[in-house]
Structures are given as C-alpha cells and as structure tokens.
Chains A and B, each alone.
Chain A
Amino acid sequence: MTDQNKRIKDYFCKHTTRCTIEGVKKSKRFVGHDVLKADAWDKVTGEAVYPDDIFFDDLLYVKIKRAVHPHAILKDIDISQAKKVEGVVDIVIAEDIPDVRQFGLIIRDQPVLIAPGEKMRYMGDPLAIVVAETKEAAKKARDLIKVKVEELEVITDPFRAMEDDAPDIHPDGNIVITHHLNRGDVDEAFKNSAIVEENRYQTQFIDQLPMQNEAGVALYDERRGVINIWAATQWLHDTQADVAQSLRLSKDQIRIIQPTIGGAFGKKEDVSVHIHLAIAAMRTGRPVKLCFTREESMITQSKRHPITIINKTGVDRDGYLTAWETKFIGDTGAYASSGPAVVHKGMYHATGPYNCPNLRGVSHAVYTNNTYAGAMRGFGTAQGAFAYEQQMDILAEKLSIDPAEFRLKNIYQKDSITPNGQQLTHSVNAEETIKRVMELSDWKGGRK
C-alpha cells in the first residue's frame, strides 16, 4: 500500500471506525479494543470549529424578524424605521424575493418569508431578514419592524384541528397524513379475550436541546455563482437539494460545508439558517452570519411530537396478547417536517417488542399552530413505548401475574412478526435483555 493509500485508510478508519479499503475482514485494530474518538483532541483543546466559531473580516450579522401571532394574516409590514438604524445594510422582505419557493423535509410547506396576504402559522414564521454591520444594529432594526396582522383562531389542540368547523391551517386541511394498520381479526379476538383494557395516553412536546443552537455562516462566490454555507445539518445532501430548489438554483451552486456539530438529536434535520443565509449572502455580496438564540431555537425549530395514544389491548387467561387496537394522533405543529414519517412509525411500534396476532391501527399527523414537530431520537417510538409499557403493567396487575413474567411470555423471539409484517430473522435478544435486567435488579416480582 502506498503512503497515500495508508493515509486515506487511516482517515476512514478514524472517522468511521470501519475499515472499508481492504474489504470485509475482521479488524484487529478496533473490534474488541477501546477506540479513542478521532476528533476528541480538537474538542478538549477548544480547537474544534463549530459554525458560530467561523469569522470573516467583513462579516455581516443576520437577525430574523419572526411572527407576532401564532395564526394570523400578515396585513402590512413596515421596515422604514428599521432601515434608518445605523449599520443596517439590508432588510429583505417577501416582495424582494418573489421567485423563492417553499421548503420542507417531506412536504414543502414552509415559506422562506411570509408576504402580506399570507398567513403566519406559528411564532417562528419568518417575516424579514435583517442584515447589519453589528449584532446590536441587527437586533435594534429587527425590533423596529412594524407589523399589522388580522388574527385568526389559534389551534393548539390536534383534536380541535380535526373538527369540521376548524379553520384550515394549510390549504389542504389540517390532517397531513393518515396511515392504517390491519392484521388478523381484531373484533373476533377481543370477543374471545379474558381481559380487554383500553386507555388513553398523552405525551408532551420535548425540545431535543442540542448544546449548540442553529448557527451558520455563508459566503457568495459571485464569480463561480456558488453559495458556500457553513452550517450544521443531519442530511447534508437533502439540505443542499432543498436550499437549491427553494432558491431556484442548481445543486452545484449550493455548497453545504459541515463544521463540527454541537449536538443535533433530530433537531438539525430541518433547514434552519441555510436559506436565509444564502439570500443575505447573495444580496449583500459579503459573508453573513446567523446564530439563533436559545429562545429562537426553541420557538422556531422542531420538537418531539406530542402524541395522543389510545390503546385497546386484549389478553387471554394464560397471559398471551390476543388483540391490539391503537390510535396515534400526533401534533406536528405548523409544518409537516418529519411528522408524516414519525407518527405512523410510532404506530407501527404500538405493541413494542411483544407478539400480538391481531392488530388494527390508525395514525394521523395533524397541523396545529404550535411549533412544528419533527425528528427526535427514536422517531415516534419513544412516545409509543410509554403507552404500551403502561398497558403491559396494567394488564399484568389485572391478570395477577408478575409483570416481568407477563412480558417474557409475549416477548419477540427469532421469527416473530412485527405489526407491519417484518419477520425478525436474526439477532433478537429481547428475552435475554429482560432476564438480565431481572437478574441485575434482583427482581422479586415487583414486590418490595
């Protein structure tokens, strides 16, 4: 192997902890050994460069004027006072960018800027991009932008959103997507069950809260027609494609450069600073920087979905699950984001790691005027886990059997079939896991 090849191999090994160059071969260097994190040295010395650590000499600062009401029609936006602030270089409103298209992870339903006559749908919706020589000037100008709105009914509850007389948050109605799940004969199985238990569970919004807020820097290379954007994303190429289509540019005109990321946990799947930065960079011809505050990040970017779960579970005398009916209503907030995928994925995991032959389920991802919900660690399954484990505990108590034994009876084995029909062909360690937990916790059947 040449020196260069060795260096490349070394690089891949360090960064992926997989050795791909030599094909599939058991690694002597990593498997069974402690591997130190390749970028740990940068991070313990403070040398690692995160998006807000990037500076240029003639950097401009960007601030976003956001919605003033969670559901309202923008009647008028007045930037005349804001423009007078010393140090303001540019204020962009919707009329300045008439051709820019909406963006979004799955459904392109998010506007880049709200124009008069259009609706703001949550408190994070952007109304204007302020670019200034200093952060203070940008903040001051942002706060001087005057907005007139016509207020609409604010919908914060997905059940209200689904009612016939609820105003439509988006033109196609408030239910983003509905999924169904059907297997076996649920009604018959419930009839033959010894116990049927029905309960309603509610989970809440959770912010992924990565330590670093959304932040980025952009620089427009006018000669090549390329916009360079240094900002965190979890889907580099999807973000590139979405930014490009939104700005009606080709993908090779958008370079997304990923600096070190200060945590993401799903929150950085969505486009955040990218498009606004690109617009500011193109309009001013100077490097621009946009860093969200923590509050802005909380108000603006995605959350874990609050899901209402209604579970009806049947069990026979011997303690085997017979039937499971479930309903998942996910509040995806003002925009779809990952909602269409998260909510029904949660439903497919409605029974957790437990075998159940007869299943029926329905899931709705629903628009409201809350901050939009998207991806977060587990992608819908964490919400379901809360509900199905409660069901299992309640059923065990009603059957008067040890909740751990009850779980062991129903636990997935090799060749079990999941609610969406996937057969688990290998590496099913759920039983082993429960047994080990019982052993380690000195389990005594739930009694003290």
Chain B
Amino acid sequence: MIRKSPMKQENRQTISGADFEEYFQPQNLEKALEIKAEYSDQIEVAAGTTDLLVANYEQLHQIKNWLDLDKIDELRKIEILENELHIGAMVTHLQLMKSDLIKEKLAVLAAAAEDVGSPQIRSRGTIGGNICTSSPAGDLLAPLLSYEASFKLQKAGAERIVRAEDFFTGPKRNLMEADELLTEIIIPLTENEREGAWVKVGRRKALVISTLTLSVVLEFEADKIIEAGIALGSVAPTPIRLWEVGELMLGSSLTELDYKQLGQEVKARINPIDDLRGTREYREDVAADVMVRALNEIERKRG
C-alpha cells in the first residue's frame, strides 16, 4: 500500500543543492583585503569559525563565498611595538591565556580568555572573531575596554584606528564597513604598576554565555590609583566602560575606598535586560557584589 515513488529516476535538475561558489584562502593580508574589496558584504569571513558555523548550522551549503583568514600568519602575532602591545586578529583564546607577554602585561585579558567556552572553543576561537561578533556578552570585550584598546580596521589601500569603546554600536553591531577587516588589536602599555581582576558570572563554569562580566584594571603610582578601567559585559546593548566610577577612584589608595559604595555606583550605571540568562534585578545586584569581590581580589594580590 505504500506505493513506489513516482519521482524515482526522473530528476528534474534546475536548482542546485548547494549555493557554494568560491572559497578563498589567501596566504597574506594584502590578498585578503583585495578579495574583501571585491566581494564586500557578499562574502563570509572565516576566522576560528566557532561563531560562523554555529550561526549557519544546517545552512553551510547556502554560503556562497568564503574568505578564510586561517593561513595568514601575519595576523597571529603578539608583539610589543613602541610601548604598545599588538595582538593579531587571528590570535586564539588559547594563545592569549598561554602567552607570557599577555599574562604579564594584560593579566585580566588572559584571565578572560581562560573563561571562554571550553578547551575545544579556546583552541579555535579568535580575539578578532570575538570582537567582530560584537555580542554584549563577548568575554574579551570588557577587558579590552578596561585596557583602552584600539582596533586597526584595514581595507585595500587604507586603514583606520578605532577606539574599542567607539567600535561597538549595539548587540552584534559595530561600525566596521563591508570592505574592511579587523587586523590588529592595539593596547597601550605603562611602566606603572597595573593590577586587575576578572569576574565572569554564568550558569555553568564552562561553555556558558556570560550572564555578566566585570573587568577591573587599576594603575597605581605608589599606592595612589591614577587610572581605573571599570568595564562590564552583558549589562547593556554593548560592553560598557564606566568612566564615572573610575573617576571616583582616582587619587585614592585602595584603603581609602568604600568598596560597597563603589558597588552601588556600578549598579546605578548599568542598564541590563531580562533574558534567559538572568533578570535585570539579578544582574544589578550581582554587578554590585562582584565589584566588591574584584576590589578585594586586587587588594589581596597587592598584598
């Protein structure tokens, strides 16, 4: 009673199963920029592909054009140039957490990288990918704001430097143009003592999209705070830096600060939403708590 299919053997072939046209895997940046200039928004940029393949699950065959940056070694460097740390966009989270240079100079960034996803994700996911995905929950983003990072955006024949804080314009939105690629993350270094703390709040310890992240980077001259980078993720449409809270701390030593009060200052300046990972109220209260926790941690580290 189940009859044989009438379609069998006569296959009307007019539409193809896959839309795939081109896969570019350039060996250098120049070539990549040329391709990006030509295809503009008609090409998917592939870095560590931990976001790309999730976003396009079951739809990979519909991607027409691919620009794979995997073979461009110049985007995988971590180096100091004129008192600035330059991190290539293709540097992975695993490289960040293992790099002695990053651990020494940007400990909060290294700690954040260590909390991203899982070993399987960290070995592939890149700092450039984390930035370009521009999720308000991206774990590296708050530390980048704390360190006052800038991003180098390049297109064929031109480049511009954008401050991290200006880069993010909304959830998964940024001001990168269709013909541009993010190539480098630039972070100013200092001779002064820098101490920081990283807090990630999530429902599990691994493989979790953050409910809230906090990055605190303090710069000291003797015992006085001369720079305070307080930044949070998952509490607003973009990762945010709380300049006003930082300013409240300037000129004081840690012992002169009221941590609880600063926690309340943080709470008052964030604008979280209710979502699957937590309510607005929860995030506000937790933000205040983790600010206190972070300051205690810095105090402990300084001994």
Query: Is B a genuine binding partner of A?
Result: yes
Interface of B is mostly: loop
Asked if B18 is at the interface (CB within 8 A of a chain A CB), the reply is yes
CA A90 to CA B8, docked complex, whole Å? 7
CA A18 to CA B58, docked complex, whole Å? 45
Residues of chain A in range 246-278 having any CB-CB distance to chain B below 8 Å: 247-248, 278
CA A14 to CA B13, docked complex, whole Å? 53
Residues of chain A in range 138-175 having any CB-CB distance to chain B below 8 Å: 139-140, 144
Add 17 more A-B contacts to A81-B15, A85-B15, A86-B15 (CB < 8 A). A84-B14, A86-B16, A90-B8, A91-B7, A96-B3, A100-B2, A131-B5, A136-B17, A136-B18, A139-B59, A140-B18, A144-B15, A248-B1, A283-B2, A283-B4, A284-B5, A293-B58
| Interface range, A side | 20 to 34
7 residue pairs of the A-B complex, CB under 8 angstroms, read: A86-B15, A90-B7, A99-B1, A279-B2, A283-B5, A284-B4, A293-B57
Whether B5 and A90, one on each chain, are in contact in the complex, defined by CB atoms closer than 8 angstroms, is yes
Given the known interface contacts A88-B7, A247-B2, A282-B2, the answer about A139 and B14 at a Cβ–Cβ threshold of 8 Å is no
Asked if B11 is at the interface (CB within 8 A of a chain A CB), the reply is yes
Chain B residues with CB under 8 Å of chain A are: 1-5, 7-8, 11-18, 57-59, 61-62
Q: Which B residues are in CB contact (< 8 Å) with A139?
A: 58-59, 61
Asked if A134 is at the interface (CB within 8 A of a chain B CB), the reply is yes
| Candidates B1, B7, B11, B17; contact of A134 at CB < 8 Å | B17
| Candidates B7, B14, B16; contact of A89 at CB < 8 Å | B7
| Candidates B1, B8, B14, B61; contact of A140 at CB < 8 Å | B61
Q: Which A residues are in CB contact (< 8 Å) with B2?
A: 97, 100, 247, 278-279, 282-283
Whether B12 and A89, one on each chain, are in contact in the complex, defined by CB atoms closer than 8 angstroms, is no
Minimum CB–CB distance from B213 to chain A (whole Å) comes to 27
Q: What 0/1 pattern do residues 272 to 302 of A give for CB contact below 8 A with B?
A: 0000001100111100000001000000000
CA A142 to CA B189, docked complex, whole Å? 54
| Candidates A89, A91, A140; contact of B11 at CB < 8 Å | A89
Residues of chain A in range 96-149 having any CB-CB distance to chain B below 8 Å: 96-97, 99-100, 131-132, 134, 136-137, 139-140, 144
Whether B17 and A85, one on each chain, are in contact in the complex, defined by CB atoms closer than 8 angstroms, is yes
Asked if A83 is at the interface (CB within 8 A of a chain B CB), the reply is yes
Asked if A357 is at the interface (CB within 8 A of a chain B CB), the reply is no
Asked if A403 is at the interface (CB within 8 A of a chain B CB), the reply is no
| Candidates B4, B7, B12, B62; contact of A285 at CB < 8 Å | B4
Nearest to A278 among chain B residues (CB) is B2
CA A285 to CA B51, docked complex, whole Å? 40
